[in-house]
Structure 1
Amino acid sequence: MKKDIAPIDGELKEPLSGRRHFLKTTLTASMAFALPAGVAAAFRNTKRPIKIGLIADLHHDIIHDGLQRMNVFLEAVDTQRPDAILQLGDFAYPGPVNKAVIDRFNNAHDTALHVIGNHDTDAGYTTDQCLSYWGMPARYYTTVVGGIHCIVLDGNDTGSPDYTGGYPSYIGPEQLSWLENQLKTIEGPIVVVSHQPLAGISAIDNAEEVQNLLATAADKVLFALNGHTHIDLLLKVQGIPYLHLNSASYLWVGDQYKHESYTKKIHGAHPWISNTCPYKEALFAFLTIDPNTLSVTLEGRKSEWVGLPPDRLGVTTYTELTLGEEVAPRIRDRHILRPKR
């Protein structure tokens, strides 16, 4: 059987493949997942709950009201007062045209963290511009938030032996070696962050290789977190939870399902919106890691579709997912709890 992908209530009893395998995983996605068995030791220097504000896939250069969505998120940040805020990529082109939304995010918190998405270097922009405009220390890096070690990866490496076209989606050998060293040397609890998924739908080309590496530090890795897919999904691989955080702005449906959700004026100025099913309000979440209860809580947010929803459009792009479940205008509240021994 392929490396264990299992629900919280036990390992899968028989091999599953294709759609049946994926559905067996996603149908349990709203259940609680166990933290790694040895995680208590990793929390020895972390005494208080740590909260992080999360927003993914704003796509300020596609959606017409990206700054407004960012402002709603940051108003919630002012109320929630997290220890850090984190955007998970596909944020805003790193140039003067987007200075307002970039500065708004960076100035909203002393610890404003970034991940580079595959679309952030569209339109001729570069990784170096992301580092400069966003204020990132490197394209992949480690930072500590209240005793939680966040390992931020860059899934945009080239050179994948399995590359078949489109955007690169790969963690290359140099970055893998760096990741292995981080996992060996970091003693405290670890959260692994990327734009592209490390497990599940649309995972990076060498997802199994990365999953195997993270499994070697399962006593310290609390969970992995990604954006990119614009879905709401939690799954577990080799004992480690992998969380897909939904987009702040929309579901991409593509040219085949092009339609208008807003006024002709908005679509004229922002034509790519026609390839999406937008969310009425911004989606984002607040993640709380509590060392006292050994639990992780995600406080999400619900919205509604603007215009026709994907089922009314006859969307069949997401064949491995369920419309209204993983594909929905929401980020579900979740609770990842270490079970009692």
Structure 2
Amino acid sequence: MNRRTFIKSTSLAGVTLTLPNAIFSLDSTRKGVEFGLIADVHKDIMHDADYRLKAFIAAASKKDLDFILQLGDFCRPYDYNRSFLNIWNSYKGDRYHVLGNHDTDGGFTRDQTRAFWGMAENYYAFDKKGIHFIVLDGNDPNPKPWSGYNRYIGERQKQWLIDDLKRTTNPTIIFSHQTLELESDGVSNMKEIRQIIEDANKDAGYHKVMCCISGHTHTDFMTQINGVYYVQINSASYRWVGSKYKVIRYSKDIDKKYQWIKYTIPYKDPLYTFVKIKQDSIIIASKKTRFVGPGPKEMGLSQPGPHDPIVPTISNFKMKL
């Protein structure tokens, strides 16, 4: 099933997909695994990023979650961002980070950003109640002569991924900032990474890697490639549209201090989601808001394609296992 057929034959309001032959070790007496996700808050662009993160932490704190995770483009390691980071660290449960490409803007290194966040490794894995979770770093240096921002997974990390998938016997979910399915703006060597995933599934004899979840594109989309599902979680804050469509949507004072907001279509309320993994399904909770000011239709902005909708939404995706 290609992307266009997938979009035409399903509704973004609720999608049911099938993951054949998935094997779970979740005990039937347990409630399963539940975790919170927030992506692309962009503290260094969005004037009300603190409010958006506080809303997520408040909602997460009311639930009995196994962990929360942010999918990158969170904040740079400036001293004045420490109060923002403190909001994240106020969550009492387990917290995990994914490195985004903009988290090192301003000349910072990945090590500096990790140290600021308290993130031990660029890429790593952990287990919760019989589910294996892998966090990848899609910001390795591009091999020459490639140009542009770093969006690559290098040899050392690839070998680590191969070894980690061999070690685990648990059903697995992979997190990354850049997507592993959208070639125009995802991990540059995504086909190599997908091959590693598909080889692991073949060796296991079932779909060990159930799905891969990313941020980065500020869109709301899910698709299937060779039995693995790929989900793009929308930004907590906005969709970037560039200088051609710039609009001042807030006060002049805000525009002066946060000069990049005019190049975005902000979302009125923060977007985030909670994901439940049970023995028979993976469910991504929906959250909807509206645009601040004119939306893409009013601006004459054409949709980039069926795989990359401009919507102020995280859809209710349900994956049958």
Give the Cα–Cα distance (whole angstroms) in 1 for the partners of residues 251 and 195 of structure 2: 48
Shift of 1:107: 2.5
Which residue does the alignment assign to 2:318? 335
Within 5 Å, which residues of 2 pair with 1:1-341?
6=1, 22-28=3-9, 30=12, 31-37=15-21, 39-41=22-24, 43=26, 47-160=30-143, 163=146, 165-200=147-182, 202-218=185-201, 219-291=207-279, 294-316=280-302, 318-321=303-306, 326-338=309-321
Which residue does the alignment assign to 2:204? none
TM-score (normalised: structure 2): 0.92
Give aligned-pair identity as a percent. 36
For the structure 1 residues 123 and 181, does the alpha-carbon distance in structure 2 shift closer, same or farther, using more than 3 Å as the test?
same
SS where residue 177 of structure 1 aligns? helix
Contact 2:138 2:151 in 1 (8 A): yes
Shift of 1:236: 0.4
For the structure 1 residues 220 and 59, does the alpha-carbon distance in structure 2 shift closer, same or farther, using more than 3 Å as the test?
same
Shift of 1:146: 3.0
Shift of 1:203: 2.1
Instruction: String of CA shifts for 1:208-258, please: whole Å, max 9, x gaps.
Output: 111111112332112100000000000001100000000000000011111
For the structure 1 residues 151 and 103, does the alpha-carbon distance in structure 2 shift closer, same or farther, using more than 3 Å as the test?
same
Give the Cα–Cα distance (whole angstroms) in 1 for the partners of residues 291 and 93 of structure 2: 33
Letter in 2 for 1:298: I
SS where residue 208 of structure 1 aligns? helix
TM-score (normalised: structure 1): 0.86
Greater CA drift, 80-89 or 270-279: 80-89
Give the Cα–Cα distance (whole angstroms) in 1 for the partners of residues 131 and 258 of structure 2: 39
Greater CA drift, 278-287 or 216-225: 216-225
Shift of 1:169: 1.0
Greater CA drift, 46-55 or 243-252: 46-55
Letter in 2 for 1:26: I
Which runs of at least 4 in structure 1 moved beyond 6 Å after TM superposition? none
Give the Cα–Cα distance (whole angstroms) in 2 for the partners of residues 253 and 289 of structure 1: 34
Aligned positions, number = 312
Q: CA RMSD in A?
A: 1.9
SS where residue 18 of structure 2 aligns? coil
Contact 1:53 1:85 in 2 (8 A): yes
Contact 2:171 2:209 in 1 (8 A): yes
For the structure 1 residues 336 and 307, does the alpha-carbon distance in structure 2 shift closer, same or farther, using more than 3 Å as the test?
same
Instruction: String of CA shifts for 1:79-135, please: whole Å, max 9, x gaps.
Output: 223110000000011231111111211231331100000000001222112221111
Greater CA drift, 138-147 or 172-181: 138-147
Give the Cα–Cα distance (whole angstroms) in 1 for the partners of residues 69 and 195 of structure 2: 26
Letter in 2 for 1:327: I
Contact 1:95 1:129 in 2 (8 A): no
Contact 1:226 1:244 in 2 (8 A): yes
Give the Cα–Cα distance (whole angstroms) in 2 for the partners of residues 27 and 172 of structure 1: 36
Runs of 5+ unmatched residues, structure 2: 202-206
Which residue does the alignment assign to 1:11? none
Runs of 5+ unmatched residues, structure 1: 1-5, 7-20
For the structure 1 residues 46 and 127, does the alpha-carbon distance in structure 2 shift closer, same or farther, using more than 3 Å as the test?
farther
Give the Cα–Cα distance (whole angstroms) in 2 for the partners of residues 284 and 109 of structure 1: 18
SS where residue 47 of structure 2 aligns? coil
For the structure 1 residues 36 and 128, does the alpha-carbon distance in structure 2 shift closer, same or farther, using more than 3 Å as the test?
farther
SS where residue 27 of structure 1 aligns? helix
Contact 1:200 1:235 in 2 (8 A): no
Letter in 2 for 1:27: K
